[in-house]
Amino acid sequence: MTDRSWAGRSLTVEIGQVAHGGHCVARHEGRVLFVRHALPGERVRVVVTEDRGGSFARADAVEVLTPSKARVSPPCRYAGPGRCGGCGWPHAAPAAQRELKAFVVREQLQRLARLDVDVVVEAVEPAPLHWRTRMQYAVRDGVVGLRAHRSHEVIDIDGCLIAVPDADVSVARPALRSAARSIELESGDAGGPTVSVVDGRGRRQVVSGGPQRHRVRNRSFEVSSGGFWQVHERAADVLADTVLAMAGARPGESIVDLFCGVGLFTAFLGEQVGAGGRVRGYEGAASAVRDGVRNVADLPQCRITRAAIDARTVQGIDGLADVVVLDPPRTGAKKAVVEAICDLSPRAVVYVACDPAALARDVASFAARGWRLEQLRAFDLFPMTHHVECVALLLPG
């Protein structure tokens, strides 16, 4: 603890490893600094941006004294200290970004699940630019842009390099209204983006376009505005292929798909198990359930039910579950749900995770019940940022 805040101080530090959350760790006078805009191994001058008096403070690297070999000149002119907070890693070469993500996944599994796992983060095209099909632009004082890191300031931008053309800020600007807090663009196969305005009370109104359609493998999925859909243009294909391969569902089997959204995995798993099998999807958001029911309407073996997923919901699932697929939000499934899944005694669990720490905690809960991590794949579905998507196959015994 310090009695005087370091905020605003300029310090020269050696940058250590990357941490979960994307910041790099440095140490100064016994305290930890979480540093943005730096890379492991660099010597940088930082300015402390936030110090709440605890064991750590936050800082931005403002001058690179000894650069890492992985450092590149950011392709985006809005990147850098105090500027756009959207992407954390445009100053790292794309291959280096994937290595940093692999380090974080490995380290989380090591620290939280006591597992040593070889992790390779696979690139997914389009990368590293023009992959993001959904954009949320912030609005303030007539400016439509992106927020600065940990700030309400809106940075005026004339384009975002990670967005697909249909989700460019120029498409959002005509929807500007005085009461708007944000303007959201969702692009798909519907022949133009869906544009929605969200006001200060969080009320959303579609300004143009309707539900989006997304073609994945041989099927088309309808998603209402505001409903969950993966943001990388190729994510749904990559994740569906991976889930299907890991699940290896056989004709006639019974599958449970938890946190099923609009039925992406439910539908393809339904095709795998065929008319003699069954797939039960569970999802909490009413509009996703409505979309999901329509999306699997041609597959009578699939059923999607609205449920707030907790241990009781999973305990209430009757009959056989040969495979459980789960794709929880960033917080993970948590111990009680993991235990209820184990009690269903499936032959395999396929876990799709957008947060490696939550995955590692849940893998530890599976391990406590005698389950092992059989396979792990990781995908760079969020280039230029620290985010990474993992798919894990867990087997009993």
User: Considering Cα of 78, then 84, then 90, then 91, what sign does the dihedral take?
Assistant: positive
Minimum distance, C-beta of residue 20 to ligand SAM, in the bound complex (Å): 18
User: Position of tokens 């989006």?
Assistant: 212
By rule CB under 6 A, what count of residues binds ligand SAM?
16
116 CB burial (10 A radius; 0-12, 13-18, 19+): exposed
Q: Quick one: 288 or 302, whose CB is closer to ligand SAM? A: 288
* Minimum distance from residue 355 beta carbon to ligand SAM (Å): 10
Tell me how far apart the alpha carbons of residues 197 and 212 are, in angstroms, rounded to a whole number: 16
Kindly tell me which of 27 and 215 has the beta carbon lying closer to ligand SAM.
Answer: 215
Q: Binding mask 267-306 vs ligand SAM (x if CB under 6 A, - otherwise)?
A: ----------------xxx--x------------------
Nearest CA to 268 out of 249, 289, 293, 253 is that of 249
Q: How far is the CB of 222 from ligand SAM (least distance, A)?
A: 12
State the minimum distance, in angstroms, from the CB of residue 54 to ligand SAM. Answer: 30
Hey, which residues does 282 pair with through a beta bridge?
258, 305
- Contact between 287 and 259 (Cβ < 8 Å): no
Question: Is 379 one of the binding residues for ligand SAM (CB under 6 A)?
Answer: no
Tell which positions 174-233 bind ligand SAM, by CB under 6 A. 228-230
Strand 254-258, strand 278-283: pairing: parallel
* CB of 287 vs ligand SAM, minimal distance in Å: 9
Residue type, 295: N
Interface positions, 303-342, toward ligand SAM (CB under 6 A)? 308-309, 327, 329
Find the binder of ligand SAM among 169, 260, 279, 342 (CB under 6 A): 260
Q: Work out the angle at residue 234's Cα, subtended by the Cα atoms of residues 175 and 275, and round it to the nearest 5 degrees.
A: 110
Q: Does 261 bind ligand SAM (CB under 6 A)?
A: yes
Residue 265 touches ligand SAM, criterion: CB under 6 A? yes
Amino acid identity at 379 = F
Strand partners, 348: 323
Closest CB to ligand SAM among residues 39, 302: 302
CB-wise, 34 or 382, nearer to ligand SAM?
382
Nearer of residues 273 and 381 to ligand SAM, judged by Cβ: 381
Cα–Cα distance, 122 to 380 (Å, whole number): 6
d(CA 30, CA 328): 37
Residue in the structure block whose two tokens are 């016994």: 30
Site for ligand SAM in 91-120 (CB under 6 A): none
137 vs 265 by CB, closer to ligand SAM: 265
Question: Using CB under 6 A, which of the segments 122-130, 152-160, 191-199, 253-261 binds ligand SAM?
Answer: 253-261
Report the C-alpha gap between 320 and 49 in whole angstroms.
Answer: 54
Least distance CB 129 / ligand SAM (angstroms): 23
Q: For residue 126, which phi and psi values (nearest 5 degrees)?
A: -75, 140
**Cis (ω within 30 of 0) for the bond into 75?**
no
Interacting residue with ligand SAM among 264, 302, 314, 392 (CB under 6 A): 264
Residues with active-site annotation: 354
Least separation in angstroms between residue 385's CB and ligand SAM is 16
Q: Is 155 helix (H, G, I), strand (E, B) or coil?
A: strand
The residues binding ligand SAM (CB under 6 A) are: 228-230, 259-261, 264-265, 283-285, 288, 308-309, 327, 329
